[in-house]
Chain A
Amino acid sequence: NKPFKLRKNFVTRKQEAAGIRSKFSNKIPVIIERYEREKFLPPLDKTKFLVPHELTMTQFVTIIRNRMALLPTQAFYLLIDNSGLASMSLTMAQVYKDHQDEDGFLYMTYASQEMFG
């Protein structure tokens, strides 16, 4: 279970993201990976998502929580890589515009705590 960036080199990832954006122009390519030291949240069955650009972060987090069948009491944070938490009212398009990686993907990490130790 290597991180996505270690499974494919930069050129491949960049080409893949560009191809996806041309085929699915209304979707944002998002890579969601579990925090490497996460102990409480289960692994997601999917890593790679194509997300409607108008979906808000709140809606997206809800979808992922439901996918993982989390209890309402279970803490879940979706962090934008290298930037921490994004405002929940932002749309995926806005988050992508501000935080997309050089390869064209948007990277997120999920964890049961909002700050990494």
Chain B
Amino acid sequence: PAATAVAKNVYAVLDLYGRITAVSIVSS
């Protein structure tokens, strides 16, 4: 079976205080 390509996108998530956390959005 063909492998499903899974791509991870990393977004910088900001809060109101300017702090940034990285979030990985996994898409196929």
Residues of A that sit less than 8 Å from B by CB: 15-16, 19-20, 23-24, 27, 29, 46, 48-52, 54-55, 59-60, 62-63, 66-67
Contact = CB atoms under 8 A, between A and B. Distances in A.
A66 B18 contact: yes
7 contacts: A15-B27, A16-B27, A19-B25, A23-B25, A29-B11, A46-B10, A59-B16
Q: Is the interface of B mostly helix, strand, loop or mixed?
A: strand
A75 B15 CA distance: 24
A50 B27 contact: no
A54 B16 contact: yes
Interface of B: 9-16, 18, 20, 23, 25, 27
A20 B14 contact: no
B18 A48 contact: no
